[in-house]
Amino acid sequence: MAVDNMPPVTSDSPSGLAGVEREISRACKDARRDRSSVTLVAVSKTFDGDAIAPVIRAGQRVFGENRVQEAKAKWPPLMAEHSGLALHLIGPLQSNKAKEAVALFDAIHSVDRASLCEALSKEIVKQGRHPQLFVQLNTGEEPQKAGIAPADADAFIARCRDVYGLQISGLMCIPPVEDPPAAHFALNAKIAARNGLKLLSMGMSADFATAIQLGATHVRVGSAIFGKR
């Protein structure tokens, strides 16, 4: 079940979550945006159910995981105990894990190659599930990172739609750690706009306020909520 936003955090929320929520609200106010226009994806990778449960009880409903196998191991019991949760895959996805990913996740932020598009298309048709799909851009064109180069983005998005029949909802990017992130977020937003995409997954613990200023609809925040891994 897809969930777009969390309810307001409660007075007894974990301090990290409450602090992040205050910062998101402040950034939205500065950008003259409604708080409801930004989905907080709490990145729970490497944390177990005991660490995640207090954040769920505080009102957070959207969570991000990097690996299919890790998510499969820990989320079914949490989903059985708590209603209305949504799970986003924010890490790289192997084509041979597409079946499991489509079955488990409500959004996939890392669509980045033809073989994965083909695998996702088959599983979406077979399972009748339609997770939100984000094309991952490699805005810094870093050789060690996954993602589509900005110059290739328009053609890749067109192929996703026209060849594989995928409904692409938005774009995701992770700026190079040594670069100021604003230019990368702005480029992500520009490419999304010219392709008619409304969702922007960008911004993490250190830079989500900047991402919100530049149009982020989904911010992926882990350490600021859960602490260091």
What's the CA gap between 113 and 129, in Å, rounded?
20
Domain harbouring 55, CATH code = 3.20.20.10
The segments of the chain whose pLDDT lies below 50 read 1-12
Structural domain contains residue 107: yes
User: Rounded to 5 degrees, what are φ and ψ at 39?
Assistant: -95, 125
Structural domain contains residue 5: no
CA dihedral 121, 186, 43, 113 (to 10 degrees): 30
How much is the pLDDT for 1?
39
Nearest by Cα to 168 from 109, 85, 222, 88: 109
Q: How many distinct structural domains can be found in the chain? A: 1
Structural domain contains residue 1: no
How much is the pLDDT for 182?
98
What's the CA gap between 133 and 146, in Å, rounded?
16
Report the predicted TM-score, pTM, of the whole model to 2 decimal places.
Answer: 0.92
Burial of 54 (0-12, 13-18, 19+ CB in 10 A): middle
Q: Which domain holds residue 192?
A: 16-226
What's the CA gap between 111 and 157, in Å, rounded?
10
How much is the pLDDT for 111?
98
Q: Which residue has the tokens 């997770």?
A: 131
Is the Cβ–Cβ distance between 88 and 170 less than 8 Å?
A: no
Structural domain contains residue 218: yes
Burial of 156 (0-12, 13-18, 19+ CB in 10 A): buried
How much is the pLDDT for 13?
53
Residue spans of beta strands (DSSP E) within 86-217: 86-89, 107-111, 132-137, 168-173, 199-201
Structural domain contains residue 51: yes
Structural domain contains residue 6: no
Structural domain contains residue 7: no
Q: What is the Rg, in whole angstroms, of the alpha carbon atoms belonging to the chain?
A: 17
What's the CA gap between 116 and 67, in Å, rounded?
15
How much is the pLDDT for 213?
98
